[in-house]
Structure 1
Amino acid sequence: MHSKDAVIAIYGPTASGKTALSLALCEQLDCEIISVDSALIYRGMNIGTAKPSAAEQAQVPHHLLDIRDPSETYSAADFQKDASALIEDIQQRGKVPLLVGGTMLYFKALLEGLSHLPESDVEVRKKLTDELHEKGLTKLHNQLQQVDPVSAERIHPNDPQRILRALEVYELSGKSLTELTKERHGQLDKPIYQFAVAPAERHVLHERIEQRFDQMLAQPFEDEVKELFARRDLHPNLPSIRSVGYRQMWQYLAGEFSYDEMRERGIIATRQLAKRQMTWLRSWPDVHWLTTGESDMEAKVFEVIQQPAKKFESKD
């Protein structure tokens, strides 16, 4: 690579071929892979997440796989801290950090940094809640308009949760939510090469998603979720069980709908996820696009990384 201290990122919607490309690059570059996926972090969730196989993990070091039990949570701030430390460690050992995944919220936290907002305060929240009951929501929204007109414009007048939170932030910090969200900390201070891989046509991605889902069902995905279901300490509101595919299989096992409906809902939900991922990516700055399945993907990557990399600059 031209920029020796650079990081490489491979983005893409689900089922676009990110894993295959990353492993192919690792055959030619001395890389270690950092997973950027909010489902791959969970132990015992392998089939439904398309987790790299034991052979693939033996081929190249993978990080941030199997680091949480499905009963636990993992935030974008957790990822930012862990990924930043891993990048430093990998580079200090003379290797290239290769970020691979489709959880764009994690990428955003790492590359742009995070805002430091005050944690909720019981007394302040009670005071504001009492005001809500006494004065009504319209009065509180008008109050927000005075201290934070940008947030008041963005937050619907009938949304008490967000109105209360915005007023709470102002009372605790003396700054508006708008001001604080502009102050980001912990941005990745390294040059980065960014690639996105996706099929040229949407229908091709839809076909790949359907094929992958059917492959999961044949492996068998149902048995994997049955083991989670049988634990009795997990429930559908956990981030792990809300993962695409797991939620639908869980609902099927709970008797909410038929097997065929579970399959259909799972495929639709995965397509919706892919659409959201593509929407994020189209607005992402400085991305080099690659087409799923094209024979010269790796050559295009190597052509780009012969040029100087630059640090990430948000469009916001």
Structure 2
Amino acid sequence: MSNYPTALFLMGPTASGKTDLAIKLAQQCHCEIISVDSALIYKSMDIGSAKPDKQELQKVPHALVDIIDPLESYSAGDFRNDALRLMKEITARGNTPLLVGGTMLYYKALVDGLSPLPSADPVIRAAIEKQAELNGWQALHDLLKEIDPVSAARIHVNDPQRLSRAIEVYRISGKSLTALTQIKSDPIPYTIKQFAIAPSDKAALHARIELRFRLMLEAGFEQEVQALYNRGDLHLNLPSMRCVGYRQMWEYLQGTMDYDEMVFRGIVATRQLAKRQMTWLRGWKDITWLETGSAENFELIKAVL
């Protein structure tokens, strides 16, 4: 493993100061940034995603920013493929890949790989639904107990979507969902140095989140979402419009809530996102923690290069 090139992970909850630190590292340490953020991938979603501004992106390019339209989808598997390709290109140039962001599912997909689950088969899925109509979902749940007792124990009989998928996977592959999800990809060929940045005081993080949200509003966040709303082809069931802040602003524009309620819910949703990110990070192995705003952060990361 020590012969592998180094790759840096700079993780952390939203509003913790990742971007500023990453830009400094890229400017001074021969690093190239790959964004690990499921909101920054979308074009025309700049303010509410806290995307680095055009000047910052011109000085220090970020890969995987502005790569798809909000109408399109992008999976963790897509990210893994793109990130591995970019990491290879960066190391070939003699630089260090610096992966920056808070979408922990993307990091997990990159490190652990994705289970080789088969794609959906409309014919098999229709047959399962027909069987459910004839015999009931309980009969299919009983069948799942025989072929995949582990999945049956965690999938409720009243959850037809997951129940159908578990049976579909078995009928396509001949292997249970449990068995396939346990298959791991080969380790990625990098020596990964992992850092997470966050304020040690939760109240300080909450204050940063509220300040940033209010600054987004001042910067024209409402107008940004209004332009997306006016397109006519976007809706709240899309992953892009479910991004924190965008959902609340969209609902405000629909008339579902008033302005003050939108602001309150947007800030609360961002805090909840940060809480989920911190939960992921506390269970992550081999992390060096950094304090938001500490002058030592740059040197601590530079020392491992």
Question: Could you state the TM-score of these two structures normalised by the residue count of structure 2?
Answer: 0.96
Letter of the aligned partner of 2:103 in structure 1? T
* CA distance in 2: counterparts of 1:187 and 1:208, whole angstroms: 36
Structure 1 segment 199-238 matched on structure 2, within 5 A? 199-238=199-238
The CA distance in 2 between the partners of 1:67 and 1:153, in whole Å, is 40
Matches within 5 A, 1:15-34: 15-34=15-34
CA RMSD of superposed structures (Å)? 1.4
- Classify the secondary structure of the residue corresponding to 1:16: coil
Letter in 2 for 1:107: Y
SS of the residue aligned with 2:98? Answer: strand
Identity %: 55
Residue of structure 1 in register with 2:84 after alignment: 84
Determine the C-alpha separation between the residues in 2 that align with 1:3 and 1:198: 31
Alpha-carbon shift at residue 202 of structure 1 (Å): 1.1
In 2, the alpha carbon distance for the partners of 1:27 and 1:216 equals: 26
Per-residue deviation, 1:238 = 1.1
CA deviations over 1:251-285 (Å, ceiling 9, x no partner):
11111110000000100110111111111111111
**Structure 1 residue 110: deviation in Å?**
0.9
Q: Residue deviations 1:181-230, cap 9 Å, x none?
A: 11133642211100011110111111110000000000011111111111
Aligned to 2:6: 6
* Map of 1:291 onto structure 2: 291
Cα distance in structure 2, aligned partners of 1:112 and 1:187: 7
SS at match of 1:65: coil
Question: For the structure 1 residues 4 and 23, does the alpha-carbon distance in structure 2 shift closer, same or farther, using more than 3 Å as the test?
Answer: farther
Contact residue 10 and residue 100 of structure 1 kept, 8 A: yes
1:120-158 deviation digits (Å, cap 9, x = unpaired): 112211221122122222221111111111111121232
Which amino acid in the other structure matches residue 136 of structure 2?
G
Structure 2 partner of 1:138: 138
Q: Is the 8 A contact 2:4 2:191 kept in 1?
A: no
Please say if residues 36 and 103 of structure 2, whose CA atoms lie closer than 8 Å, have aligned partners that are also in contact.
yes
Gaps of 5+ in 1: 307-316
Mapping 1:40-119, distance limit 5 Å: 40-119=40-119
Specify the alignment match of 2:180 in structure 1.
180
Return 5+ residue gaps in structure 2 as ranges.
Answer: none
Give the distance between the partners of 1:185 and 1:48, measured in 2 at CA. 34
Preserved contact between residue 5 and residue 189 of structure 2 (Cα < 8 Å):
no
Q: Do the aligned residues in 2 keep the contact of 1:252 with 1:258 (CA within 8 Å)?
A: yes
- Counterpart Cα distance in 1 of 2:232 and 2:122: 31
How far apart in 2 are the matches of 1:104 and 1:39? 13
Residues 43 and 261 of structure 1: CA distance in aligned 2, closer, same or farther (over 3 Å): same
Equivalent position amino acid for 1:227 in 2: A
Q: Which amino acid aligns with 1:156?
A: H
Quote the Cα distance in structure 1 between the aligned partners of 2:266 and 2:213.
8
Conserved? CA contact 2:36–2:100, under 8 Å: yes
In the other structure, the counterpart of 2:243 is 243
**What does residue range 129-168 of structure 1 map to in structure 2 within 5 Å?**
129-168=129-168
**Deviation larger for 132-141 or 264-273:** 132-141
Counterpart for residue 170 of structure 1: 170
State the Cα distance separating 1:27 from its structure 2 match.
3.0
Shift, 1:3, TM fit: 6.8
Q: Report how many aligned residue pairs link the two structures.
A: 304
Q: SS state of the match for residue 25, structure 1?
A: helix
1:59 Cα shift?
2.1
Alignment-mate amino acid for residue 201 of structure 1: D
Q: 2: distance between equivalents of 1:135 and 1:291?
A: 58
Change (3 A) 1:228 1:104: same
**Is the 2:148–2:176 Cα contact (8 Å) retained in structure 1?**
yes
Shift of 1:14: 0.3
User: 1:86 offset after TM fit, Å?
Assistant: 0.4
TM-score (norm 1): 0.93
